[in-house]
Structure 1
């Protein structure tokens, strides 16, 4: 019997699709783009100006899920608080996403990201969007989030992916769809500054309340997924840089890097890092990382009792042309005005010295001196006279 040619075409397409599905990334994109050259990285960075902003979630959200879920997506608070960032000259913000949000409602999640980016653009803020995060609660769950524990630092923040997904390679296709789906949607969007692939991937939360809940061999699961995540991100061919920030350890020479740190640096278009220590440590780490010859952004800093302050850090950053993103912005449900040790030590009232954050919920600065400094660094003070 003569075969219908359309049947044969359909059969071939079906077989190709099945092969793509078995091989993962081939189903969602072509060849990953290369890591930027140093020249490409500097050409991008030179267009940005001095980058300064907070790690941002609205004061009404305890974590990433509460920020983005449809029922609690608080555009009024986001608009108001990003307006405060603009008022002191900030031009970027580091903002966390979550894989479960894409699984729950990919269309709605992407739409809310688009709305957020419109609000940010209105205030001249270009966000860096964070894909995965290894810090705090390893058991995230969709739906109504718990209320904050009184006086406890970041008592509801959740990891992405959680430990259940991290150790289950059958969930890789779902995570792949999330990474490529989000980045591809905004790959050529000038409202997005950059993509932070994974926050502190080698953080095992030891010393926190969650340390005992972590997988005993967590990093063995993180390493292969981190490599895949960078590849997936490049499959989406973003016009923005892809990066992940080294955050602890000795980066002074190549031989001192761990396997995860090496992946983070080798796969990053621009170099990002964290520093919650004083100015000497900040400058030392900047000097360490200069050997890579790429632009740098410190994507977490500012812990006042540790000696990491705006006054001590920003002049060094300007000197070395390093972008700066402090942790926290408006005091709220994350309660990061309290220090890390609030998980073990009982606090009953607002600490005299805030750990993180810049503004109170009514927009009053914690420290007018700090705000004036930020305005002077950004040029906002002169523009408002």
Structure 2
């Protein structure tokens, strides 16, 4: 075992024994610092955002397909119903391909968002969907399939091979370091659904020991972001089932996320009663809470049912997603088994607007405006 791996295993052991924040990672925010920060934000309402013209993060950020005019248009629709944040996925390969150009495009995106008074949460890494990302032209959408071209960051190769980790360190430090004091950035979501095995879409392609691999790498990602000097809060969201209030019963990766995050984030595509139960489970950690994924109509997770609960408990609300487009996330998850090739779903799964900017359902717009005071 290398010294690096031995050190990471020691870090994880200390966390699981309840030893608190990592000294080499810089100080985690105190509960009071986190609450003071959150009190200045107001009620956070927004969506997970990729423009309709992009099938995934790479198509959103690569120079050839970066689409500021479309981004401006769609963020204008969001601002018009009172949304004040977006959760936006970056990609390590877009940075590796063209570091300076990538950072300029992120800066341009932040300028567009600021024009609409939207402060995004930027997501650095993501373990969901295709484990083999590649730069260059992205494949077209598979007809009738939800999120058929979304790609992981980093991919399977980089997770399995520690020789890629210095490159990931450069990416994290390069991006966070560039925007570490930028007031246009709300927060850093360091890794989305870190150990998701993507069943059934890509389960056969995933590392069998993915959970162990990311358990070793995630603390390093927090360390790199803190070493880069981030003035914004760091987080990584809980997403699995179980009782999140019982720390001793949580999976090791969940405990690491809770131990290192300045503010708590979580996903819930559940009906209102289960959503509220999740919130109550997390309140015991005495930190601000933001729901960074919710709203799946076919699951009983709706704006009408969820937003009043989130607002009453002071929990930020970031749904998936904003506009129907190449990602096709208006289609349900089961489209991976039964594609909606010649039919629309009876009820859209995600999204607020159709591609032309008309609302999918006026009741959604009314619920969002009621929550945001518009």
TM-score by length of 2: 0.92
What is the match of residue 226 of structure 2?
234
| 1:10 match | none
Contact 1:32 1:236 in 2 (8 A): no
1:349 is aligned to 2:340: no
The range that moved more, 345-354 or 158-167, is: 345-354
Q: In the aligned structure 2, how far is the partner of 1:285 from the partner of 1:331?
A: 28
User: Paired residue for 1:159, among 144, 152, 166?
Assistant: 152
How far apart in 1 are the matches of 2:184 and 2:278? 30
Separation in 1 of the partners of 2:278 and 2:142? Answer: 34
2:143·2:339 contact (CA, 8 Å) conserved in 1? no
Once residues 241 and 319 of structure 2 are traced to their aligned partners in structure 1, the CA distance between those partners, rounded to angstroms, is: 20
Map 1:163-312 → 2, pairs under 5 A: 163-206=156-199, 208-250=200-242, 251-312=244-305
Q: Please give the secondary structure, in 2, of the residue aligned with 1:292.
A: coil
Among 44, 53, 60, the alignment partner of 2:46 is 53
Unaligned 5+ segments in structure 1 are 1-22, 24-29, 381-385
2:314 and 2:343 map into 1 onto residues whose CA distance is 38
3-state SS in 2 of match to 1:109: helix
User: RMSD between aligned alpha carbons?
Assistant: 1.1
Partner in structure 2 of residue 144 of structure 1 = 137
> Is the partner of 2:148 in helix, strand or coil?
coil
2:46–2:87 Cα contact (<8 Å) kept: yes
Q: Which runs of 4+ in 1 moved over 2 A?
A: 30-33
Structure 1 match to 2:366: 372
Aligned twin of 1:42 = 35
Q: Which runs of 5+ in 2 are unaligned?
A: 1-6, 8-22
Distance 1:343 1:305 in 2: 15
- Give the CA deviation at 1:304: 0.2
1:129 equivalenced with 2:131 (yes/no): no
Distance 2:58 2:207 in 1: 22
**Residue 24 of structure 2 contacts residue 223 of structure 2 at CA under 8 Å; is this kept in 1?**
no
Q: Helix, strand or coil: the match of 2:290?
A: strand
Provide the C-alpha distance between the structure 2 equivalents of 1:50 and 1:336, rounded to a whole number of angstroms.
25
Give the secondary-structure state (helix, strand or coil) at the position aligned to 1:198: strand
Does structure 2 conserve the Cα–Cα contact (< 8 Å) formed by 1:32 and 1:237?
A: no
The structure with more radius of gyration = 1
> Following TM superposition, by how much is the alpha carbon of 1:255 offset from its aligned partner in structure 2, in angstroms?
1.3
